[in-house]
Structure 1
Amino acid sequence: MTVTVNDTATLGGLKLKNRLVMAPLQQYKGTLDAFPTDHHIAHYGRRARHVGLIILESTAVSSNGRLWPSDIGIYKAEHVQPLKKITDAIHAHETPVFVQLSHGGRKSSPEVTRSLIAPSALPFDDHYGTPEALTQAGIRGVIEDYRLAAARSVEAGFDGIEIHAAHGFLIHQFLSPLTNARSDEYGGDSEGRSRFLKEALLAIRQEVGRDYPVLIRISATDYCEGGLTPEEWVRLLKPLEAELDGIHVSSGGLLPIKPADVHPAYQLPHAAAIKQHFRIPVIAVGKLHTRSLANRALEDRLADLIAIGSPMLDDPDFAGRLLA
Structure 2
Amino acid sequence: MSALFAPLSLRSLTLRNRIGVSPMCQYSSDNGLATDWHLVHLGAFATGGAGLVLTEAAAVTPEGRISPQDLGIWDDAHIPMLRRITDFCRAQGAVMGIQLAHAGRKASTRRPWEQPGGTVPVSEGGWDNVMAPSALPFAPNFPSPHALSLDGIAHVITAFRAAARRALEAGFQVIELHAAHGYLLHSFLSPIANQRTDHYGGSFENRIRLTLDVTDAVRTVWPSDLPLLVRISASDWAEGGWDIAQSVQLATMLHARGVDLLDCSSGGLAAHQQITIGPGYQVPFAQRIRAEASMPTAAVGLITDAIQAEQIIADGSADMVFLARELLRNPRWPLLAAHALGAMTTWPPQYERARPR
**TM-score category by the smaller chain?**
over 0.9
CA distance in 1, matches of 2:306, 2:330: 16
Whichever of the two has the greater Rg, that structure is 2
Amino acid at match of 1:52: G
User: Is 1:113 the counterpart of 2:127 in the alignment?
Assistant: yes
Can you list the C-alpha shifts for 1:142-171, whole angstroms capped at 9, x where unaligned?
111101000000000000100000000000
Match of 1:51 in 2: 50
User: Is 1:299 the counterpart of 2:314 in the alignment?
Assistant: yes
Match of 1:262 in 2: 277
Structure 2 residue corresponding to 1:130, chosen from 122, 137, 144: 144
Runs of 4+ in 1 over 6 A off after TM superposition: none
Matches within 5 A, 1:1-324: 4-31=3-30, 33-49=31-47, 50-109=49-108, 110-111=119-120, 112-242=126-256, 243-324=258-339
Amino acid at match of 1:299: A
Give the superposition deviation at 1:320.
1.5
SS at match of 1:215: strand
CA contact (8 A) 1:44 1:89 kept: no
SS at match of 2:176: strand
Give the superposition deviation at 1:212.
2.1
CA contact (8 A) 2:177 2:229 kept: yes
Give the superposition deviation at 1:259.
4.2
CA contact (8 A) 2:4 2:314 kept: no
CA contact (8 A) 1:11 1:281 kept: no
Give the superposition deviation at 1:82.
1.1
Amino acid at match of 1:155: E
Amino acid at match of 2:141: H
Give the superposition deviation at 1:237.
2.8
Give the superposition deviation at 1:296.
1.1
Q: Which deviates the most, 102-111 or 50-59?
A: 102-111
Amino acid at match of 1:40: H
CA contact (8 A) 1:12 1:246 kept: no
Give the superposition deviation at 1:302.
0.6
CA distance in 2, matches of 1:264, 1:153: 34
Amino acid at match of 1:295: E
CA distance in 2, matches of 1:71, 1:27: 7
**Alignment CA distance shift 1:144-1:127 (3 Å):** same
Give the superposition deviation at 1:113.
2.8
CA contact (8 A) 1:65 1:113 kept: no
SS at match of 2:142: coil
Give the superposition deviation at 1:84.
0.6
CA contact (8 A) 1:191 1:236 kept: no
CA distance in 2, matches of 1:233, 1:8: 27
Match of 2:347 in 1: none
Identity %: 38
CA contact (8 A) 1:99 1:158 kept: yes
**Alignment CA distance shift 1:63-1:170 (3 Å):** same
CA contact (8 A) 1:198 1:240 kept: yes
User: What root-mean-square deviation, in Å, do the aligned CA atoms of Structure 1 and Structure 2 show?
Assistant: 1.3
Amino acid at match of 1:159: Q
**Matched residue count:** 322
CA distance in 2, matches of 1:202, 1:136: 17
Give the superposition deviation at 1:3.
5.5
SS at match of 1:302: coil
**Structure 1: unaligned runs, 5 residues or longer:** none
CA distance in 2, matches of 1:298, 1:233: 21
CA contact (8 A) 1:63 1:113 kept: no
TM-score normalised by structure 1 residue count: 0.96
